[in-house]
Structure 1
Amino acid sequence: MIEIYEGDYFEADLSGLSECDLINAFLDELENSPKVLDELTKWSAEHNSNPMFNVKAIVAFQNKGFNLYRIRPLAKRINKYRIIYAYNGQRDEIYLLAIVKKEEYNYEPDDPISQRIFDEYDELELPKYH
């Protein structure tokens, strides 16, 4: 079964948001469904029942060897956020590394948030793919 862990910065990202409780409830729904968790291991997926979301690999990060993806919640009050996570397929582990507002973050590799994500990915000794 897939395990989910929060990275060191994820809780700080989340605690500063006014929709913190809604996002936590969304994450609880993800964690409590093996079928839903399986969707998080795919390059691209859409889940149209509760919780509603879509998942995509972040190609710019994948091209650098980082197995990173983003979750886009589809619920109206939290659909402006993106949850960035790493998937370690060798151990069936997901690491939540950041939560960002879409309009403020464009997945640029040189963005400070991206650099923070890359640093934590390396600190966690997650596998890189080249």
Structure 2
Amino acid sequence: MKDNKKAKVVKVTKVAKVTKPAKQAPKIVTTTVAKVTKPVMLSIDLEILKILINDKPLIPLLRVLRKNKELHTRELLVTMGSWGYGQSLMKRATNLGLIARTIKKEKTRGRGKPRIYNALTNKGREVVGLADKIGYEK
């Protein structure tokens, strides 16, 4: 069996003492020390792994929803700072079952369409949790 250990390389800088006249600058010696970290086993659902690999742009959208619980569509797009591309991301996440969209009517009578609220599903929470564990960019 092979040991699958990853080594982190850390540079350590030491200043050597000089016994010569004070006019010379001290010599700087750089050595490398390898730290060994143990691999961690993760059990990952294949479908979630495919989403992480193929749909990486969805992760910021899912992180915004995880942080804010439930947002209506316009608030979500403003929070993300994206309009056209953000809407296509929302459609893709909805089709994959990562976001649940529910229509809620406001109590005040007014004109216009009722708001559609977006919330994470359990599958969406699993995707964001796995992305955080393996260290996807934030």
After TM superposition, the score normalised by the length of structure 2 is: 0.25
Larger Rg: 2
Of structures 1 and 2, the one scoring higher in RCO (CA 8 A, sep 6+) is 1
After TM superposition, the score normalised by the length of structure 1 is: 0.27
